[in-house]
Amino acid sequence: MTARVTALWRYPVKGIGAEPLEAVTLAPDRPLPGDRAWAVHHAAAPADTGGWRPCREFLRGASGPQLMAVTATTGANGAITLRHPSQGALTVDPALAPQALLDWVAPIWPAERPAPARVVRAPDAGMSDVAFPSVSVLNAASLRALSERLGRNLDPRRFRGNIWLDGLAPWDEFDLVGREIAIGDARLRIEARITRCRATEANPETGERDAATLQTLKSGWGHQDFGVYARVVTGGDIALGTSAEVM
């Protein structure tokens, strides 16, 4: 079973901003570099911010769909440029100006939700939705199958994946759990399926909920899963077009 990499993405601030990549270097037992390197705690989250924390403590698209319309670009100096259709652009180094990030994101966060409160730096293991250093691997054929069932082309940014593969059959990624895949020189072990939330219902162009992704997954396939979590076993360079092979 062979596939190839058709897209690479990272999300410098958890839940806020998607950034396309052409190439990346993976390291063993680490998330994709720069992915979920920062996160924004809301006011109802515990003040203890050490180590990995569950996603319910952060601003995220499931609770604030407008966040799904944010794009990101990371500069060489560590500054991140965030853009939103109605909020404009902000270039900020979260380490140096956390309040600027809080002020920028507040107008696109629902007023009835606990307000943005603290910018936190992710631990070395990252700040994905699972408590281990994960890289998410998604299947372009599964996206096409879900799009066909919904009767519209779904933007892959809805699913906030790191590595998109094409060449597998729809939902073949679930059969890879417990196995390893080689992507170029890197080797990843597939650990678990990703259960999805309401963030996937929001259009990344508009920030409006406009697709019944969860309902369609449940009615069509009996689950709400899309993509898999992987752990990097052997590091290496990968890029668009890199071949992937199941070991």
Q: Please list the pLDDT of the chain residue by residue as tens digits (247 residues).
A: 789 999 999 999 999 999 999 999 999 999 999 999 999 999 999 887 678 899 999 999 999 999 999 999 999 888 999 999 999 999 999 999 999 999 999 999 999 999 999 999 999 889 999 999 999 999 999 999 999 999 999 999 999 999 999 999 999 999 999 999 999 999 999 999 999 999 999 999 999 999 999 999 999 999 999 999 999 999 999 999 999 999 8
Which CATH superfamily, name and number, covers 2-31+130-246?
PK beta-barrel domain-like (2.40.33.20)
**pLDDT score for 50:** 75
Question: pLDDT by residue (tens digit) across 102-126?
Answer: 999 999 999 999 999 999 999 988 9
Q: How far apart (Å, rounded) are the C-alpha atoms in residues 90 and 75? A: 12
| Angle ∠(207,210,211) on CA atoms, nearest 5 | 120
**pLDDT score for 125:** 86
Instruction: Determine the 3-state secondary structure of 98 from DSSP.
Output: helix
Which residue ranges does the chain devote to CATH 2.40.33.20? 2-31+130-246
Question: pLDDT by residue (tens digit) across 2-41?
Answer: 899 999 999 999 999 999 999 999 999 999 999 999 999 9
**pLDDT score for 49:** 64
Query: What's the DSSP call for residue 44?
Result: T
Count the alpha carbons within 13 Å of 149 in the hemisphere toward its beta carbon.
Answer: 18
E strand segments, the chain: 2-10, 19-21, 23-26, 38-42, 71-74, 80-84, 88-92, 116-121, 135-139, 163-166, 180-183, 186-195, 225-234, 236-239, 243-246
| Angle ∠(113,19,93) on CA atoms, nearest 5 | 70
Query: What's the DSSP call for residue 116?
Result: E
**pLDDT score for 170:** 98
